[in-house]
Amino acid sequence: MGHGGRAAEPDKRTLRREFLAVRNRLTADDVREAATALAERARDLPELAQARTVAAYVSVGAEPGTLALLDALRARGVRVLLPALLPDNDLDWGTYTGEGSLARVRHGGKMALFEPAGERLGPDAVTAADVVLLPGLAVDARGMRLGRGGGSYDRVLARLEQAGARPALVVLLYDSEVVEQLPAQAHDRPVHAVVTPSGVRRFRTADKTG
């Protein structure tokens, strides 16, 4: 099933550049307005409404904003886990307890990330999450996600699978980033839902896998 899998990589690289270029043209106001709309849409998602633990991330730059949503979840009593990038690109996790619990960390030449400043819970902490919010650049009609290419979340998804954990996988995106088809490889896993400023779209395929 893996034949031709490598061929998807150059396509993905090109697509990443294109989606990032569009994001980089957004104004601070565009990003702020989208973040507010995303928080409102995501709050009503049944998976998030019932979740006790949510693994999320802090958006940076022109990424679809997550902070308003993190605060809304916390206000509801949800335990919010945030990633900390390890040297090998794997992710450790810590708890979000408000904006004061974030530290700005620069990783090599990459952009600075906001990571949890408190105690590290270990890479396996994510397996306790009811919902995992995955960063992405696009998602297609099958629920296949285009990631940033660092591979961190591929490892998270593999870890969830090994642990037999089945959290709802949700991506936050801008409306223009929901597309018809993206290149996918045999190991790629569909997400369950995408939240955009204009609404929520669910993918049935994700429930049939495994």
User: For the whole model, what pTM was predicted?
Assistant: 0.91
* Residue whose entry in the numeric block shows the structure tokens 């104004």: 27
Which residue segment(s) compose the domain that 143 sits in? Answer: 5-208
CA-nearest of 73, 19, 27, 53 to 126 is 53
- What average pLDDT does range 175-185 have in this prediction? 93
Whether 10 and 18 have beta carbons less than 8 Å apart is answered as no
Q: What is the mean pLDDT of residues 183-205?
A: 89
Average predicted confidence (pLDDT) for the chain: 91
Per-residue confidence at 9, pLDDT binned at 50, 70, 90? low
Res. 112: pLDDT tops 80: yes
Number of separate domains in the chain: 1
CATH assignment at residue 179: 3.40.50.10420
Report pLDDT for 210.
40
Select the more confidently predicted residue: 26 or 7. 26
